[in-house]
Structure formats: structure tokens, C-alpha cells
Amino acid sequence: MPFKISAVVPTYNSEKIIKECLDSLIAQTHPFDEIIIVDNASTDKTREIITNYPFKKILLEKNMERCVSRNTGWRAAQNELVAIIENDSVYEQHWVQKVLESIENGADAVVDRRGVYKPESFISRMNDEFFSVRLLKNKYEPYSAWVFKKKIIEELGGYDEGQVGFEDMELGTRLINSGYKIVYQPDAVSFHAGEPATLKQELKRSWWFGIRTHKYYKKYPDEVPYTRFIGLSVLTLSIIFPYLFIILLAGATVLLFIKFISMRMKPEYAAAEAILSIMRSWVFFIAYVISNIDRKRRR
């Protein structure tokens, strides 16, 4: 008996792209058996737009974190599979078909291949290139998922509503630790409009994740990237010795460039990604340290 699949679409102030998102769900070669929209108290035209679609709608009257709307949606789903849809993404027409192929072949959960929606800036194109080469590697091991067997997500209790920003990775960690299997399906492709398009957006997102990551590492202390943090600390402290700083920074950049070239990134993107990776890591690390100092001070 074929699996039936429900789509859960949490929305919040999504008027710029929600129509393209919902239209892509309707255009699937294998249709969703159910589509549920959970609107998180939008204040723009999102609610006006979604009234034009004949889907089940749950309208939250108070703005909550996205974990709440996701949990609300999957609990209302009527089918054995639940797909968590990002409201700022557009899905290729064979997405459901390819996801179901993975489930039928034994997957407990599935992650798709992400691309950047309409990449126009250099950074957007670089991110799209990075997604493509990273996710097409045979050694890629998924750590989060977008499609789940409902009985599993019920067993795990859904998204941890205290893990804002890391809820996908945290749920994936629990799923893997419970012995379930996440399968990467490269032929199920979605295009995300929420990826950074400028340097400012890149660093702002790194900061946002950095100040929130301590909750995840507190819950999973074995996953703290000590080696990476030690390397960043040494590089940062070497600022007092300018020549050492330049040597270490240049060395780290060259090693990252070689890594990205080996992944078959175009040279101009590989160079930019190498520099940007260090900048992102610094911002993330500084935000993480500051958030931990502030948290300890308030105790």
C-alpha cells in the first residue's frame, strides 16, 4: 500500500513568496494527500493570500516561535508521512515522488537537496554553488530532515521548542541517536529564498546562530566543536603578533581554498567561500562566547 503524505506549511509574514511556494506544492507530479497551512499570526498580506487556496488552515492568534507552528501542524496531519515545508522555498515538481522513493526504500526520514532561489548576487551564486557541490558528494551524511514518518516524530515528541535556530539539527540528533535512518535524496530539490545575498546578511545570520547555539551544546556537550574553537582562539590571540596572525590567517585560507577546489567549486567561488568561512566562524565564535558570558553573569 503506497504511503500517504501530508505537507505542513508554517507561515509568517510570507507575502513575497508564499504564492510561489504553494503553487509549487500543487504542481507536484505526485500530489500531496493533504496540505496544512499554519499561519503564525502574520501581519502582512499572507493570510489574505492563503485564503485563495483550498487547504486546511490553522490560524494562530499570537506570534510564536516556528517550532510551535511546526508542532501544531504535524500533530494535525492525518497521514503516515509528514513533510515540513519552508514557506520561503519553491519545490521542483518531482519532489514528492523522489521523497516517496526514499521512504519506500527503507528511509525513516528524508532530507532534500537545497538550492538558492533566483541567485542574483555574487554571494547568492557562491552559496548555490556550495550547496550543489557539498550535497552531491557521495560522503554527505545528513544531520537533519524535512520529511518524517509521523509515528517517529510522535515518539520523539516533535521539535524542541527551546532550540530556536537549531531545532532541525536537534531533532535530527535525537532521531539518529534513537537508531532511525535519515536518507539524503539529491533528486528531490527545493530552492530557498531565505539564503543570504550580501556579506552583511551572511555575518548577521552567523551572529544570530552564535548567540543561540549554547542551548544545543548544553543538551549535547559531546558535539561541542572544541578543535574548531581552539583553532579560532589561537588565530584570534595571534593578533598581538601581526606576522604570526598573517601567517596563520593565510594558511587557514589556503587550506580552505584547496578543500573547496577539491569539491569542484569554481576557483572564484572557492576563494570567496574560504575567506567567508573564516569570517562566519569568527562572528559565530564571538557571539557564542559573549552569549555564554552573559548567561553566566545573569545567574
Supply angle C-alpha 16, 118, 8, rounded to 5. Answer: 55
Which grid coordinates are listed for 141?
A: 551524511
Supply angle C-alpha 179, 107, 186, rounded to 5. Answer: 120
Write down the pLDDT at residue 135: 63
Beta-strand pair 34-40/5-11: parallel
Distances from the Cα of 5 to the Cα of 73, 81, 99, 146, angstroms? 13, 5, 10, 12
- Point out the least confidently predicted range of 61-70, 121-130, 193-202: 61-70
**Domain co-membership, 76 together with 165:** yes
Per DSSP, helices labelled H in 9-104 are 18-26, 46-50, 66-76, 95-104
Residue 40 forms beta bridges with which residues? 60
Could you list the residue range(s) of the whole structural domain that residue 293 is in? 199-297
**Domain co-membership, 164 together with 207:** no
Distances from the Cα of 116 to the Cα of 89, 236, 259, angstroms? 9, 32, 22
Mean pLDDT of the chain: 92
- Grid cell 540528533 in the structure block, residue: 173
Q: Where is the domain boundary, 153, 176, 192?
A: 192
Give burial (CB, 10 Å; 0-12/13-18/19+) of 67. buried
**Domain co-membership, 243 together with 286:** yes
Backbone angles phi, psi at 189, to 5 degrees: -115, 135
Is 126 within 8 Å of 91 (Cβ atoms)?
A: no
Write down the pLDDT at residue 27: 97
Q: What's this model's pTM, rounded to 2 decimal places?
A: 0.90
pLDDT digits 0-9 by tens, 72-82: 999 999 999 99
pLDDT digits 0-9 by tens, 180-223: 999 999 899 999 999 999 999 999 999 999 998 988 988 999 88
Q: Where is the domain boundary, 145, 162, 192?
A: 192
**Domain co-membership, 183 together with 233:** no
Average pLDDT over residues 104-130: 94
Distance CA 50, CA 24 (A): 14
Average pLDDT over residues 243-268: 93
**Domain co-membership, 255 together with 185:** no
Task: Indicate whether 93 pLDDT > 80.
Answer: yes
pLDDT band at residue 294 under the 50/70/90 scheme: low
- Point out the least confidently predicted range of 82-91, 143-152, 228-237, 276-285: 228-237
Residue 8 forms beta bridges with which residues? 36, 84
Distance of CA 121 to the CA centre of its chain: 20
Helix (H) or strand (E) holding 19: helix 18-26
Write down the pLDDT at residue 134: 73
**Domain co-membership, 220 together with 260:** yes
**Domain co-membership, 248 together with 282:** yes
Domain count, the chain: 2
Nearest in space to 202 (alpha carbons), one of 254, 132, 278: 278
Q: If you write DSSP's letter for every residue of 187-232 in order, what string do you get?
A: EEEEEETTS--SHHHHHHHHHHHHTTHHHHHHH-GGG--HHHHHHH
Distance CA 62, CA 197 (A): 30
- Grid cell 582562539 in the structure block, residue: 233
Give the residue, 135 or 251, on which the prediction is more confident. Answer: 251
Write down the pLDDT at residue 228: 84
Q: Where is the domain boundary, 137, 160, 192?
A: 192
Q: Provide the CATH number for the domain around residue 87.
A: 3.90.550.10
**Domain co-membership, 214 together with 144:** no
Helix (H) or strand (E) holding 5: strand 5-11
Which value, to the nearest 10 degrees, does the dihedral of the CA atoms of residues 137, 196, 266, 94 take? Answer: 50
**Domain co-membership, 130 together with 38:** yes
**Domain co-membership, 167 together with 211:** no
Average pLDDT over residues 113-139: 86
Q: How much of the chain, in percent, has pLDDT values that exceed 70?
A: 96
Distances from the Cα of 42 to the Cα of 46, 51, 140, 251, angstroms? 6, 13, 36, 47
Task: Indicate whether 167 pLDDT > 90.
Answer: yes
Write down the pLDDT at residue 298: 65
**Domain co-membership, 286 together with 138:** no
Handedness of CA 112, 199, 66, 165 (dihedral sign): positive
Write down the pLDDT at residue 18: 96
Residue 192 forms beta bridges with which residues? 89, 116
**Domain co-membership, 134 together with 246:** no
